[in-house]
Structure 1
Amino acid sequence: MIFTETKLKGAYIVDIKRIEDERGFFGRAWCQKEFEEMGLSANVVQTNLSSNKKKGTLRGMHFQVTPFAESKLVRCTRGALYDVIIDLRQNSPTYMQWLGVELTADSFRMLYVPENFAHGFLTLEDDTDITYQVTQFYAPGAERGIRFNDPAFNIQWPIEPQIISEKDKAHANFVHELAQPIAG
């Protein structure tokens, strides 16, 4: 696996190291040992799948608070999406910065999202699927969200979101989340 650190400390783009021949290629999409050697959380307890029918579907920005904060390894398995993360760790040099990465089924590229980051995505094609491995079980009482268009972050989405759940539309701006600060 090839790990490339992003501008957000602790977040990585993960590419498959391909062994190619006339049949195609072989490579690892997950290796606990390699993640541990990079100092990344490798305690995967759950794999989630999100299937999205229409281009312009936005899901996010979601996170779980401590002690249920989770790391994620995100991959687009069908179609294409714009994956966005926000560093919410108050002690981080990249606190309140965001990063967007295009993930496609054809690229096999993945994004490693550390604990205490908000995560969301916007589909760029119809019939887009995303899987993500997480290091904590879903804990409804620890779930939080930030509005996708919160002016505190000014995320530049590549297309206008068309489909957003009522729950995601109702998320507060980040300033309201400061009542429960995130360590890290």
Structure 2
Amino acid sequence: MKFIPLALTGAYEVQLEPRRDARGLFARTYCAAEFAQHGLNTSWPQMNMSVSLGAGTVRGLHFQREPAAEIKLVRCLRGRALDVIVDLRTGSRTYGQHLALELCAETRNAIYIPKGFAHGFQTLEEEVELQYLHSTPYAPGHEGGISPTDPDLAIAWPLAIHQMSERDMALPPQSEVTPL
């Protein structure tokens, strides 16, 4: 695996190094020793998946507050998605900044998202499946989010927003969210 640091401190793109032959390919998608060598989380007590229909669908931007703050490792298993993270960490030099990374089933890349980040994505194809590893089990009483259409964030969603949940449409702008 290759661990490529992203512009927001602590976030990484994780690329696979597949071995190919006439049968297809084989690649390690997770190795505790390699993650530990990079100072990254190695405990994933919960795994979730989402299937989103319709190109342009947006989910997020979601986060969990302490004591349930979580690290995520997100990979696209089908289709393509523009994955977006926003740094909400108190005192971070990149507080309030966001970045976008395309996750693609064909390239099999993943994004490692540290605690203190909001996360969301937009589907770039008609059917997109994402797999999430979480460092902490979901705790409904600690969830929060920021609006994916917050004009101050000015996220450049590549497609017109096709679908978004009522909950996500009602999320506040970042300026109204207490830093994590």
Match of 2:169 in 1: 169
How many angstroms apart in 2 are the aligned matches of 1:175 and 1:64?
A: 17
Secondary structure, in 3 states, of the residue corresponding to 2:4?
A: strand
For residue 151 of structure 1, report the CA deviation from its aligned partner: 2.1
Task: Find the aligned partners of 2:138 and 2:125 in 1 and give their Cα distance.
Answer: 27
One-letter identity of the residue aligned with 2:122:
L
Alignment of 1:99-178 (within 5 A): 99-178=99-178
Moved over 4 A (4+): none
Q: Which amino acid aligns with 2:146?
A: I
Give me the whole-angstrom Cα distance separating, in 1, the residues matched to 2:81 and 2:42. Answer: 24
Matches within 5 A, 1:53-132: 53-132=53-132
Q: Which amino acid aligns with 1:85?
A: I
Counterpart code for 1:163: Q
Question: Aligned pair count?
Answer: 180
Give 3-state SS (helix, strand or coil) of 1:95's partner. Answer: coil
RMSD over aligned CA atoms reads 1.0
1:1-31, Cα deviation, whole Å (9 max, x unpaired): 1000011111000001122222222111011
Whole-Å Cα distance in 1 between the matches of residues 23 and 15 of structure 2? 20
State how far apart, in whole Å, the 2-side matches of 1:45 and 1:39 are.
18
Q: Deviation of residue 126 (structure 1)?
A: 0.7
Give the TM-score of the pair, scaled to structure 2. 0.97
1:132-169 Cα shifts (integer Å, max 9, x gaps): 10101000010001000112311111111110000000
Q: Which runs of 5+ in 2 are unaligned?
A: none
**Alpha-carbon distance in 1 for matches of 2:150, 2:90:** 18
Identity of aligned residues (%): 44
Determine the C-alpha separation between the residues in 2 that align with 1:151 and 1:55.
22
- How far apart are 1:116 and its partner, in Å? 0.6
Unpaired runs of 5+ in structure 1?
none
Distance in 2 of aligned mates of 1:158 and 1:54: 14
Q: Secondary structure at the match of 1:154?
A: coil
Once residues 176 and 31 of structure 2 are traced to their aligned partners in structure 1, the CA distance between those partners, rounded to angstroms, is: 38
Q: TM-score, normalised by structure 1?
A: 0.95
